[in-house]
Structure 1
Amino acid sequence: MKTEFDKIAEEAGNAELEAWAAKVKAANEEIVAFVGQKLRTNVPGEFVRYLQGSYNVNLVIRFGEEDIVIVRFPKRGITAARFLEEKVKNEVRFLEYLAEKTAIPVPKIRDWGMTKDSPSQLGPYIIMDYIEGSELETILRQLQDDNNEAEVDLVYEQIADYMLQVSRLHFSAIGPINKDTSGAWTVTDRPLTTNMNNLASVVTNYPVDQFPKAAFTSAQAFLHYRADENLVHLQVQRNLAHSAQDAEKCFIARHRFKQLIERFYSPSEADNGPFIPYCHDFRPKNMLARYEEGSLKIVAVLDFEYVNTMPAQFAYDPPWWLAMVSPGLMLEKFAMEDFEELYVPRLEQFLRAMAKAEAKKNASHGREAFSLTSRMRDSWTSKRFWFNYGIRKGWSVDVVYWSALHEPGDEKLSGDLEKEMSLIAEKKMEQLAAYEAECDARGIAQSG
C-alpha cells in the first residue's frame, strides 16, 4: 500500500518556497556582505554556488584563497514556519555537543542567529566551515558496483566507530540537547521531529496544538505519543487512504503499532533511560569523503536537523540504509524477500565492521560487557528494527506493519474498534471525495 502527502498543502509549500528562493537570490550580495561582517574579515567575499538539500539551502562563499564557508538557511515552505528557529537552534547545539564530546568529523560553526538578525529577514542561519569532499553515497555505490569490498569494509568501519561513540552518550530525557546556564549539557525541551515538521507542512489542518510541549522522561510515554500522533494523522489527512479497504488497513496497522509497544519495549526495560542521540539521516548521503594518502577517509558528517535523544534501542538498531534504498519505499513496490536479499548481506558485512570497531575500543579502553554488535543483531532478528523504523516514520507505518510485523489473525480487532474502523473508513471516503474535488478545482494533479 502507498501513502502520500497532501498535494494541496504540498503545492502551497512549493509556492512559498519559490517566492522565498527568489528573495534569497535577490539578496546574494547582501548575504555575502553579511557573512563577511560576521566573520570580521576585510577580505572581499565572493559567492561561489548553491548547495541544495532537502530542508535547507546553502550558499558557498569564498574570502580570499583560504577561507571558504557555507551559510545555511532552512527552506521556507519545506520547514514549517513555526519550527524554523527551533530547528536551527537544536541543530547548532547538537553540532557543538558532537564537536566537544566525540571524534566525529563535523563542520565548525563560525556564527549563527535567528531571523531578526539575518539579511533581508531570510530566516535563522548557520555559518560553518566548508569542507571539501565527495558525497559518500556516490562513492559507496561505485565501490559496490566494482565489488571493491575491502574499501566498503573501510567505510563501514568508520561509520561503525561513529555509531559506537554516539551509543555511549547518555541522557535522562527525550528531546534536543542544550546547554544550561552552568554550561552542562542537558535535555529539557520537547523533541522536534521530521514527522512533526511534515505533519505541520504537508497535511492540511493537522492539530499542531497536540504536539509535545516538553521533554519526555519515559520511553513508553514517548512511544505512545508517537502511536497516537499516527492515529491523529489517519483522522485528518484527507488523501491518506484511496479506498475503504486502504482506510481499514491503515486503521489496523496504526492500532496494532500502539499495541506492539509493550512487546518491543516492556515497562521494566530502560523506560526511564538512558536516552541516546538518534539521527535518522546519519547515512552516506550526508557524509563527505576523500582519499588521503591512498586511503578513503570520511571527512565530514552533515545534516543533524531534527536530532533528539531517543529510546536507547533506536541507537542499537543496525543502519536502515545498508541496502542503499529506503525500506519503506521499497516495501511499497516489492516483497519483503526482495528487500532482505539486498539488505541482509550488507547487514552481515556491517556487523563484522562493528565487531572490529568494538574490538579496537576494547583494546584501548578495556573490555566492556556492552556489545553494540550483538544488540544490532538482536534488533534485526527480533524485528525491533522494523518496529522502530515504523514508529518513527508516519508515512511508512502502514506498509511496515503489513510487510514486516503482521501475523495471521492480528487483523481481528475488538468489537468497539471494529465499529470505530467502519466509521473511519466511511469518513475517509467522504474526505477523499472532497479532497479530489478541491484538487480538480485548483487544477492540481493527483496520483492514486
Structure 2
Amino acid sequence: MKPRMHFDNIAWEESERITDNWVEWLLADEVTLRAIGHLILKHRSGVPEELGDPKAGYFNISFRMKYVDGGSAIIRFPKPGATMFPEEKIRNEVAAIRYIQENTSIPMPFILHRGTAEESPPGMGPFIIMEYIDHETNMSRALNMPGLGIEDRPRLDPNVDAGKLEILYGQFADILLQLNKLSLPRIGSLEQVDDFTYDVARRPLSIHMNELVRLGTLPRSSLPNGTFGSASSYFDALAELHIEHLTHQRNDAIDSATDCRRKYVARQLFRKLSSDRRLTAPTRHPDSTSFRLWCDDLRPSNVLLNADLQIVGVIDWEFTYAAPAEFSSAPPWWLLLEQPEYWPDGIEEWTKVYDHRLETFLKVLTKREETLIESGRLSEEQRLSEHMRESWRSGDFWVSYAARKNFAFDAIFWQKLDERFFGPAGIPEESWEDRIGLLNGKQKQDMESFVERKLEEMKSRVLAWEPDEESEPRVHI
C-alpha cells in the first residue's frame, strides 16, 4: 500500500515550470527590481543601504531592504505557480497577524503595508511589506538532526540535549496557550472590518486547499465557499473534499483497480463517520459555538530565535483561520519536525518516537499552565495539556490529521482509524475488502463505474489544472 497519495506529477511539473520561469524573469529584469526597491521605500522611511538578493520559500519570495539606521524591511510576494489564491492568502494573513498582535504577546512582524496587484510592479502580484525581525536561526535548525542539508527533510535530532528541548518546547507551548485563548464564533478566515474590529467573514482557506488545487487538480468550485457554524459541518466538508480529490485528480491518483477500490472505500467510510457525528468530540468540546484560531503552517521553521535560543518572532501566518477545537486540542504534529507520512521508517515507527517526545512536551506545557494560572493569566478551563493527552490517547489526533491532510489520508485511515471505528479486520493492505459490506447499495454500484473511469484515465496523462486565481464568493453556509 502506498504510504500516501501521490501528487499529480504533471500538475507538479507545470507548477514548478511557472514558478521557475517567473523567478528567472524577475532576476533578469532590473527595471522590476528597482521598482521593488522604490516600493519598499514608499512605505518604510529612512536612508536605504542595500536591497538584498531575493529569498525564496515554499509559497513566497521576499526581498530585504537594509537601512542606515540599522533596521530592515521585508517585501514578500506570493510565487505564481505555487500560490493558487494570492490575493486571498495575503488578505487573510494580514488580518490574522494584526488580530494576534492585538490580543497576545506573541512576537510578530509589524506590517507596514499590504498591497494589491494593482499597486505592485507589473507581473509581481499582491504583496506585504513588514519590518524585518533580526534573528540568529530558527527552531527547526536548532533541533534538526546534524548532517542534514538544506535540501533534506528536517528530522528531530535523536540525541538532542534534554534541557535544550524543554526550553524550546516550553516557549512554543506559550504560543499555543495564547492562541487557544482566542475564541471566535464561526469557522473561517478573519476579515479586518476597521482598526479595532475583526469578523470571521470568509471561508477557512487552508494550506491543504491550496495544494488540492495545485497538486490534486481539484476544481476551485469544489472548495468550501463560506464560513461554518459547527465543527461537524466543517468535518462534513472536509470529508467531501477527500472524495472530490480522488474524483478529480487526473494523474497519479491510483495505481491499480485494487488501489482505487481501497481509496474509494476509505473515503466513503470517512464521510459516513462524519455524517454519523463520530469524528467530533462533543463531550470534550461542548461549546460548539466557540472555535479557536489555527494556523496550518505554524511549525518550528517559522519560529525565529536569537543566539540564546529565545523566540524573537513567529512568521508566515498565511493559512490561519478559526477552526474546530479538535484541531488545537490535538498535540502538535511537529514535535519530531517531520510529518508521520514522510517518516523514513513508516507511520508506526513515527508514532513510537513521537509518543516519547510528547511526554516531554506535555510536561513543559503543564508547567507553563501552572505558572500562568498562578499569575492569573490563564484559567483552569483554558488548559491544553489534558485535552492533548486525551486526543493522543483516544486517537482523535489522527482523526483531525486525516481530515486536514488529503495526500496523507489513505495511510492514516487504514493504519489509525479503520480498526478504531470498525473493529479488527486483518492487515491494512487487505482490510478494505472486509469493509465493502459497510457501503450501501448505491455506493457499491457506483464504485465499479468509478474504478472503470479512473482506470481509463490512467491510459493517458493530461494536464488538468486551474492556474489563475478567481474571485471567491462570500456565501455563508
> Which consecutive unaligned segments of at least 5 residues does structure 1 have?
440-448
1:286 and 2:288 matched: no
1:417 alignment partner in structure 2: 443
Quick one: which of 191, 197, 202 aligns to 1:184? 197
Deviation of the 1:65 alpha carbon = 4.5
Moved more, 54-63 or 416-425: 416-425
Q: Distance in 1 between matches of 2:273 and 2:335?
A: 25
Moved more, 136-145 or 49-58: 136-145
Mark the CA change 1:356 to 1:267 in structure 2 (over 3 Å): closer, same or farther. Answer: closer
2:279 alignment partner in structure 1: 264
Q: Could you tell me whether the CA contact under 8 Å between 1:32 and 1:61 is conserved in 2?
A: yes
Q: Could you tell me whether the CA contact under 8 Å between 2:18 and 2:81 is conserved in 1?
A: yes
Quick one: which of 116, 119, 128 aligns to 2:118? 116
Q: Could you tell me whether the CA contact under 8 Å between 1:32 and 1:46 is conserved in 2?
A: no
Paired AA for residue 171 in structure 1: L
SS of residue matched to 1:183: coil
1:355-366 matches, cutoff 5 A: 355-365=366-376
Moved more, 180-189 or 67-76: 180-189
Mark the CA change 1:182 to 1:280 in structure 2 (over 3 Å): closer, same or farther. Answer: closer
Deviation of the 1:260 alpha carbon = 2.6
Deviation of the 1:359 alpha carbon = 0.5
Q: Distance in 2 between matches of 1:40 and 1:322?
A: 40
> Which consecutive unaligned segments of at least 5 residues does structure 2 have?
146-155, 426-433, 464-477
Q: Distance in 2 between matches of 1:384 and 1:356?
A: 24
Aligned residues: 428
1:318 and 2:331 matched: yes
Q: Could you tell me whether the CA contact under 8 Å between 1:47 and 1:60 is conserved in 2?
A: yes
Deviations 1:65-103 (A, max 9, x none): 4121111000100111xx110100100111111111111
Q: Distance in 1 between matches of 2:182 and 2:93?
A: 17
RMSD (CA atoms): 2.0
TM-score when normalising by structure 1? 0.90
Q: Which has the higher helix share?
A: 1
Deviations 1:400-422 (A, max 9, x none): 10111111346233233222222
Q: Distance in 1 between matches of 2:203 and 2:393?
A: 32
Q: Could you tell me whether the CA contact under 8 Å between 1:131 and 1:300 is conserved in 2?
A: yes
SS of residue matched to 1:8: helix
1:136 and 2:139 matched: yes
Q: Distance in 2 between matches of 1:35 and 1:73?
A: 12
Deviations 1:8-49 (A, max 9, x none): 2222222221222133322222211221122233x2352123
Quick one: which of 155, 179, 186 aligns to 1:173? 186
Q: Could you tell me whether the CA contact under 8 Å between 1:273 and 1:312 is conserved in 2?
A: no
Report % sequence identity: 32
Q: Could you tell me whether the CA contact under 8 Å between 2:113 and 2:128 is conserved in 1?
A: yes
1:445 alignment partner in structure 2: none
Quick one: which of 222, 226, 230 aligns to 1:218? 230
1:347 alignment partner in structure 2: 358
Paired AA for residue 282 in structure 1: L
Paired AA for residue 187 in structure 1: V
Deviation of the 1:426 alpha carbon = 1.8
Moved more, 242-251 or 10-19: 10-19
Deviation of the 1:371 alpha carbon = 2.7
TM-score when normalising by structure 2? 0.85
1:276 and 2:292 matched: yes
Deviation of the 1:135 alpha carbon = 1.9
Mark the CA change 1:147 to 1:86 in structure 2 (over 3 Å): closer, same or farther. Answer: closer
Q: Could you tell me whether the CA contact under 8 Å between 1:50 and 1:58 is conserved in 2?
A: yes
Q: Could you tell me whether the CA contact under 8 Å between 2:180 and 2:382 is conserved in 1?
A: no
Q: Could you tell me whether the CA contact under 8 Å between 1:105 and 1:300 is conserved in 2?
A: yes
Moved more, 129-138 or 21-30: 21-30
Mark the CA change 1:146 to 1:3 in structure 2 (over 3 Å): closer, same or farther. Answer: closer
Higher relative contact order (Cα pairs below 8 Å, separated by 6+ residues): 2
1:155 alignment partner in structure 2: 168
